[in-house]
């Protein structure tokens, strides 16, 4: 039985994969409207190459920037943290040099940081685009767990 997902971010959608073929189609149409040689095969190749590059980029973002919170674990990028190891979410200061969860050196661009105090009294930085919502969900889980103890 899997835990219910309380918060989720995909990291990226797949629609950027269509940018390359769309630009190649525009280039092909512009070439068709002008006099001169036609390079249909080249535009198809350009569209395919750009789509492959965008697919790799989107796959990486979906893997490294995905956020998922369930009742038992917080997954940030490549790292999973058990919710039971989180001691405090509210009123935690972020000390200089606090470890960023997810395997990165810094909080990803476009995300907000959430300092978390763990049960071993270390402070780590979680992150999300909707950091207020994730912080509220984490606070509810930690409060619920502490009231059960």
pLDDT (tens digit, 9 = 90+) per residue, 47-87?
Answer: 999 999 999 999 999 999 999 999 999 999 999 999 999 99
pLDDT (0 to 100) of residue 69: 95
Domain range summary for the chain, segments of one domain joined by +: 11-64, 67-148
Compute the distance between CA of residue 108 and CA of residue 113 in angstroms, rounded to an integer.
9
**Residue 124 is encoded by which pair of tokens?**
């780590």
pLDDT band at 13 (very low <50, low <70, confident <90, very high): very high
Compute the distance between CA of residue 49 and CA of residue 51 in angstroms, rounded to an integer.
5
Over residues 9-29, the mean pLDDT reads 94
Partners of 73 in the beta sheet? Answer: 82
pLDDT (0 to 100) of residue 37: 87
Compute the distance between CA of residue 65 and CA of residue 103 in angstroms, rounded to an integer.
10
Over residues 107-135, the mean pLDDT reads 93
pLDDT (tens digit, 9 = 90+) per residue, 82-95?
Answer: 999 999 998 888 88
**Residue 18 is encoded by which pair of tokens?**
């269509």
The answer to whether the pTM exceeds 0.85 is: no
Three-class secondary structure of residue 21 per DSSP: helix
pLDDT (0 to 100) of residue 114: 93
Answer for the pair 126, 113: CB distance below 8 angstroms, yes or no: yes
Q: Are strands 86-88 and 112-118 parallel, antiparallel or unpaired?
A: antiparallel
- CA angle 108/61/7 to nearest 5° reads 75
């Amino acid at each position: 039985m899997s835990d219910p997902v309380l918060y989720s971010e995909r990291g990226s959608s797949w629609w950027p994969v269509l940018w390359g073929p769309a630009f190649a189609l525009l280039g092909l149409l512009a070439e068709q409207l002008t006099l001169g040689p036609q390079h249909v095969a080249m535009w198809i190749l350009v569209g395919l190459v750009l789509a492959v590059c965008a697919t790799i980029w989107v796959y990486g973002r979906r893997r490294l920037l995905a956020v998922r919170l369930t009742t038992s674990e917080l997954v940030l990028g490549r790292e999973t943290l058990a919710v039971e190891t989180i001691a405090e979410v509210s009123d935690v200061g972020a000390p200089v040099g606090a470890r960023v969860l997810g395997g990165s050196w810094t909080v990803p661009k476009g995300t907000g940081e959430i300092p978390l105090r763990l049960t071993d009294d270390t402070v780590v930085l979680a992150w999300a685009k909707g950091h207020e919502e994730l912080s509220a969900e984490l606070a509810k889980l930690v409060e619920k767990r502490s009231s059960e103890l």
